Structure 1
């Protein structure tokens, strides 16, 4: 074997260099995942700030138009789509972190051999990186995490604004007439908001039944689940009792 090929083989088979390489890889992927997680928080802060400003300005006086709430709903939906795209990229990097934890670090801490399936999947991700999470799942997850309550508040405040200012309508026709915007009739505006509400509700509810992304934290059904009142003062929601390790009894040998 030539000297260069033998040195290269020794470097690749060195356990110390392999551990150092995996540690550096884990550190890099964790930093990249944390960067994209920070970008998700930024978009959510934009949506919350916009919602607070829209509600404050819309209820400042009775002469304020309900168009402010429609603009707020449009902006929050835009933020949701932007954050769903960012969440797909975040899932890509966080997926690598989880594969490293499951395939390398967890078996090493248990003094077990490495998981070849997880490492093989990680190698495929490094060789050909591609987004695994669909846009549907990303929107559903972000609605479950933050945007569902925000959109619900905006929809309710729009309805309250149209219904109560300047006074409650006499019938449904008057309500629909108030909901109109410029040349767009109130029936069209109400139908669009109703369709948006039904779509968001469907995506929000579906997030509880679809398979969670690999990096998402889920409560695992192991051990005894703590009751709701216990979660206020106990540090963990799940308690697992360690089984006592039974030491083998020394065999008594009788001497004759």
Structure 2
């Protein structure tokens, strides 16, 4: 009776504001829309992944051309190897930028997999959690990069360009040390390394500094990723994204 009386005396305006909490959307129209959205994000990530391969192909072809020119005859200068290295730096920056764009679409597809596909695979049905300010809705309203430029550079160095730069460094050393014949003194070694007005010792010092620099960037970014204890740090800002805080906590406990 008291409950009924309180409902009778409730102000009409207050009654209009009473809304039953809604946990999620699970209608066929929502499921279809999310399915098409997932296909679109996977397609866009695939297109940008192909663009990454194109940049790597340019770097590999340029490297082959530079080595062919440098070793064409005994009078050929090692300078083409240096030019190719500079060109590969440009390709590396372009590819790192493309990787940042690729990661945007990869992030969205990954969140859809976690929030939409995982419940289906677990037998929980196609129940779409309401997106109250989570990473996916925020990303559609205000798109942003999900990975830093320096981290992209480090990843591309470890996976592709580090090997290319190592080959160029070995080719440069071989050109001035054993082509066309072995050097017999340090003076001869530095004389072969000179590039126009640039003395050989300075050219070699710059080369060593360059290789030490890219090696440090590759190692530093790898170490930062290894020491990052946040689960799904590549895709989510925090464990509270897409309403999986509880599941992430239990997963962390299971992993120790």
TM over 0.5: yes
Q: Deviation at 1:60?
A: 2.0
Matched, 1:41 2:61: no
Structure-2-length-normalised TM-score: 0.73
Q: Deviation at 1:195?
A: 1.1
Partner of 1:16: 28
Residue from 77, 90, 103 that aligns with 1:78: 90
Q: Deviation at 1:56?
A: 2.1
Structure-1-length-normalised TM-score: 0.73
**Greater CA drift, 115-124 or 100-109:** 115-124
> Structure 1, residues 29-78: CA drift from partner, whole Å, max 9, x if none?
11111111010000001111111122222222112110111111111111
Give 3-state SS (helix, strand or coil) of 2:181's partner.
Answer: coil
Partner of 1:106: 118
Partner of 1:221: none
> Structure 1, residues 157-212: CA drift from partner, whole Å, max 9, x if none?
00110112343333333322322211222232212211110011112223432327
For residues 145 and 116 of structure 1, the distance between their equivalents in structure 2, rounded to whole angstroms, comes to 38
Residue from 165, 169, 184 that aligns with 1:151: 165
For residues 216 and 94 of structure 2, the distance between their equivalents in structure 1, rounded to whole angstroms, comes to 20
Partner of 2:101: 89
Partner of 2:175: 161
Partner of 2:224: 210
Residue from 131, 135, 139 that aligns with 2:153: 139
Matched, 1:56 2:76: no
8 A Cα contact 1:102 1:115, kept in partner: no
Unaligned 5+ runs, structure 1: 1-11, 216-256
Matched, 1:197 2:181: no
**Greater CA drift, 169-178 or 92-101:** 169-178
Give 3-state SS (helix, strand or coil) of 1:209's partner.
Answer: helix
> Structure 1, residues 64-95: CA drift from partner, whole Å, max 9, x if none?
11011111111111111110111111111111
Q: Which contiguous aligned blocks of 4+ residues in structure 1 show a shift greater than 4 angstroms?
A: 113-119
**Greater CA drift, 177-186 or 113-122:** 113-122
Change (3 A) 1:16 1:91: same
For residues 159 and 51 of structure 1, the distance between their equivalents in structure 2, rounded to whole angstroms, comes to 15
Give 3-state SS (helix, strand or coil) of 1:183's partner.
Answer: coil
Q: Which has more helix, going by share of residues?
A: 2
8 A Cα contact 1:144 1:207, kept in partner: no
Matched, 1:185 2:230: no
Change (3 A) 1:36 1:67: same
Residue from 29, 37, 40 that aligns with 1:28: 40
